[in-house]
A and B are shown apart, each in its own frame.
Chain A
């Protein structure tokens, strides 16, 4: 399963959730991008460099590494299979599915918001 990751859209969605006070998970651009990359590479191994390709514009290497360890590995969303190589777990795929729902909700809300904006 491989699809292009729309970084701009992911950032828009993250900002949208941040406006609700949700700064972690769906409201965290790093979390979103990491999970997207992991999902795209499934069932293969995701290299750390694959993730950095998308996250470098938002965060440094250290904070991504830290997030991988303290969030993704700790919560069992990924399994480290080699040095700098990760595989997404079933729990991780569930999280990715949830993330998709958050994007759908954002799109739906945005569309409706635009309709309401056009109503006098």
Chain B
């Protein structure tokens, strides 16, 4: 029994389950969100579904590597490339919609990224991948097309990452507004985390880097979940910046009572 590979299976499974759960919980609570934020919400749901859909075949692939089935490993690797290629589409829609506020423009821009994704897949499938190379940590494939990697890096990675960083920068510049950290900045940091490390996971040829990337993807998913559904302790610590004390109401006299006594 290879413990490291087993650990990898657990990590991939955890990413799959948490991503799908997060997407499901977001979709179930969609009536809680305002009409203006609905398009961005559905983009977010699509994004997390694609993350889950990328890691579901990856989990099966790791199991296949664990039990020594390279054919299944290869099939699953090719399957996971499809959601992976389109992860940037809902991400770009999310960022452009949040920044510009126009659904139509956001659709057009994300469509360009869908074309990029399809082109990546075209090159990826036509060139194939070298592998699987099973180590004690993981099973690795090396993308056999430099053009596919270039397309992914230049088209599907650099622009969406720059968009996230731009939005984060904008939020930090306008710090004058008391924004709730866990609802605005944290999801963006989490998305950036997941997005960056998924790419590292897919293009690296070093097994330990791949496992570490997967750990970070899992951390990013948990971070995003906490951003939208903060736990009590977390919420108390960072969500409310300026707490205001409301005056106590004397119900008998129906008057406000303020605490004037200052203990010295």
25 interchain pairs, CB-CB under 8 A: A109-B174, A109-B176, A109-B177, A111-B174, A112-B170, A112-B174, A112-B179, A113-B177, A114-B101, A115-B167, A116-B184, A118-B36, A118-B37, A118-B40, A118-B97, A118-B98, A119-B40, A119-B98, A119-B183, A120-B26, A120-B33, A120-B37, A120-B38, A120-B41, A120-B228
User: Within the assembled complex, what's the spacing in Å between the Cα atoms of A119 and B171?
Assistant: 12
Q: Besides A108-B174, A112-B174, A114-B101, 15 other CB < 8 A contacts? A: A109-B174, A109-B176, A111-B174, A115-B98, A115-B99, A115-B101, A116-B177, A116-B184, A117-B36, A118-B40, A119-B40, A119-B183, A120-B37, A120-B40, A120-B44
A58 within 8 A of B: no
User: Within the assembled complex, what's the spacing in Å between the Cα atoms of A105 and B37?
Assistant: 24
Q: Give the residue name and chain of the A residue nearest to B40 (CB).
A: A120
User: Within the assembled complex, what's the spacing in Å between the Cα atoms of A120 and B179?
Assistant: 14
Q: Tally chain B residues at the interface, Cβ within 8 Å.
A: 24
B34 within 8 A of A: yes
Q: Give the residue name and chain of the B residue nearest to A110 (CB).
A: B177
Task: List B contacts of A111 (CB < 8 A).
Answer: 174
B179 adjacent to A116 (CB under 8 Å)? yes
Interface residues of B in 121-178 (CB under 8 A from A): 167, 170-171, 174, 176-177
Q: Report B32-49 CB contacts with A as 1/0, cut-off 8 Å.
A: 011011101100100000
Task: List B contacts of A108 (CB < 8 A).
Answer: 174, 176
